[in-house]
A and B are shown apart, each in its own frame.
Chain A
Amino acid sequence: MDQNNSLPPYAQGLASPQGAMTPGIPIFSPMMPYGTGLTPQPIQNTNSLSILEEQQRQQQQQQQQQQQQQQQQQQAVAAAAAAVQQSTSQQATQGVSGQTPQLFHSQTLTTAPLPGTTPLYPSPMTPMTPITPATPASESSGIVPQLQNIVSTVNLGCKLDLKTIALRARNAEYNPKRFAAVIMRIREPRTTALIFSSGKMVCTGAKSEEQSRLAARKYARVVQKLGFPAKFLDFKIQNMVGSCDVKFPIRLEGLVLTHQQFSSYEPELFPGLIYRMIKPRIVLLIFVSGKVVLTGAKVRAEIYEAFENIYPILKGFRKTT
């Protein structure tokens, strides 16, 4: 069974998941590897919106754009935030998408072609509109993976006495025989932290990067109030888990046959198929009901990119059942 025949022609390049979404032209603005220089102000405005809202707004705008491309873009350029040259998902080179998200919250902003330029090579000097580029060859799936869990670490920068913390904090549990760290929980954002005596802390359970950061700061503040000179050093997001639903059943046996080198499907051990995507380096758990769990990402864009890579593969499977 030759799966490639069933894939739409534009996705031929996606037969292996390393392939880029579009026929391989990277958008690369040499002027702004980080995008900071041009307009810091608008970035802060977009930070006040959730990423999801931003994305939905972008998608609506994209649909309008595709109808009246030139005029809409001019208006959007005037109004919108700019400067994050983060063409995520589809065209980002690994380095760009990997470095910037720590600085910005609006990671999913992507650029759109401007009037007067070729659609895929935006001019580096003009501010970019944060809209998914109208890539004519492919369509986005329209499904946005939801983030379910973020794991982050931070260094409080001082040695801690776990016994004191467990004694004087209400929300802490400490059982040195079982585990050598204090387990602390806060209600808002609903998270759990493991605090080690070396001063390092792991924060889990947040649903977004900002929430994780806020939660980590709250834990640091609690530790501070307990009398330790806690600081907030090297906050880093270690892992992000997302999930979504493609809403159609998937023939896992067929998928493991065609993508043998990436998939591992052992129904005797686990009902889902474990797909190890190479670019980006994400592990996907694909289930027969069409639900997909993506994990192993350091930045949100990797999750979106991985899903956009897998969606055509899964869709290709649907038609041959």
Chain B
Amino acid sequence: MPGGGRCPECGSAELVEDSHYSQSQLVCSDCGCVVTEGTLTTTYSDEGHLREVTYSRSTGESEQASRSQQRGLRRVRDLCRVLQLPPTFEDTAVAYYQQAYRHSGIRAARLQKKEVLVGCCVLITCRQHNWPLTMGTICTLLYADLDVFSSTYLQMVKLLGLDVPSLCLADLVKTYCSSFKLFQASASVPAKYVEDKEKMLARTLQLVELANETWLVTGRHPLPVITAATFLAWQSLRPSGRLTCSLAQFCKLASVDLPYPASSRLQELLAVLLRMAEQLAWLQVLNLDKRSVVKHIGDLLQHRHTLVRAAFRDGAVEAETREPGRQGPEQGQGEEEAAPGSSSGLPQRKRPASPAPLLPPCMLKPPKRIPPTPSVSTVTGDEDISDSEIEQYLRTPQEVREFQRAQASSQATRSVPNPP
């Protein structure tokens, strides 16, 4: 029944909307009095019968985006254009922003958070379309802190209940490698450093796959691993001129930022390659070290699957059949490995040196401190508390006096900055 209105004659609340021909009327169903005619009224009493709704309850408010939301949507579109994303991404990102904005927690958030929210929407859109965009890139573009970004991102994913796929490593490798300015000679890049893009990409991908297999990628930021892999790929494609170039120099001449963990990832990757090289007979005699192994990365990558299986002990790995018909080096390795008298079906236990366990580096390092054995405590929670134990935590009156005196004097010095 129409809300709020009462018939001025009989006081009944039973007002019905009834139309007389084309004119709408509000009529009391008890006494038949016409309360209002039409939708235009001139008197105050008539207005009382119109069903007015306050603006906050009207549909107008929720349809119209607030100014801050409009600005946010504009920022989303701008960011998509700056990143040169396909046009469909823009609409998805805008939709996510609007969806997030409906939650009161986001609406009432600080402007800084709303700025970062723009980045989160774009990132989620890119992830869902497998477009490799890192959080670091977005934070740089938005001049935002990674901590603020991470908290907003996690909050948004939880709030909207989204399923965000992981960063696609292969695509990231392709995008990141292409950004290295090494494919054309220029003032900063001498001819001997120029490299073919396809070859470098292919080798970097193989190195990243190798790193993934040997636990160097799980739990770590992906970008430093890719930087290290790109560097190794570039060096190994023409080792003669490039061995003297360090990782930092390489990044500088390619005009790419060097991420801090990249050097330790490089060392880890070289250690893995060295272990693999120990499995190849003709490389064993060369006594390779971390610099000279770079020259043989091509060979090592060619047979990486078998070498990893041979070089690392992993209890769960089954002995798979070797790929038949490989070239000479592989045959030589097979003979060498069969020689120590082990059966052909087990590639693991061949080498005289015991194969290293295939574990993430954090498990290979010795523990910093021995985890304390849990002491058996016999506390019940209801024991008596001795007074002396509590007394040790209370100040004596003399201490209190001294403390007060010290406080007063420090207050005095603070309140008089320039003593006379």
Contact = CB atoms under 8 A, between A and B. Distances in A.
Interface string B189-221: 000000000000000000000000001011111
| Interface bracket on A | 35 or more
A213 to B, nearest CB: 4
Given A264-B154, A269-B153, 9 more contacts: A50-B377, A170-B399, A171-B393, A188-B389, A211-B379, A222-B390, A266-B153, A269-B146, A288-B218
Given A146-B374, A226-B394, A214 B218 contact: no
Interface stretch (B99-107, B265-273, B357-365): B357-365
Interface string A120-157: 00000000000000000000000000100000000000
Interface stretch (A68-76, A92-100, A247-255): A247-255
Contacts of A47: 380
Contacts of A225: 390-391, 394
Contacts of A318: 316
B45 interface: no
Contact of A169 (B154, B379, B383, B395): B395
B237 interface: no
Given A49-B378, A211-B379, A221-B385, A267 B393 contact: no
A272 interface: yes
A188 B379 CA distance: 11
Contacts of B146: 269
Interface string B391-420: 111110001100110000000000000000
Contacts of B393: 169-171, 184, 186, 222
A87 to B, nearest CB: 24
Given A105-B380, A225-B390, A253 B404 contact: no
B222 A268 contact: yes
Nearest to B391: A225
B394 A222 contact: yes
Given A249-B215, A261-B163, A52 B376 contact: yes
B390 A221 contact: yes
Contacts of A189: 379
B163 A167 contact: no
Contact of A168 (B150, B377, B394): B394
A305 B383 CA distance: 30
B218 A269 contact: no
A308 interface: no
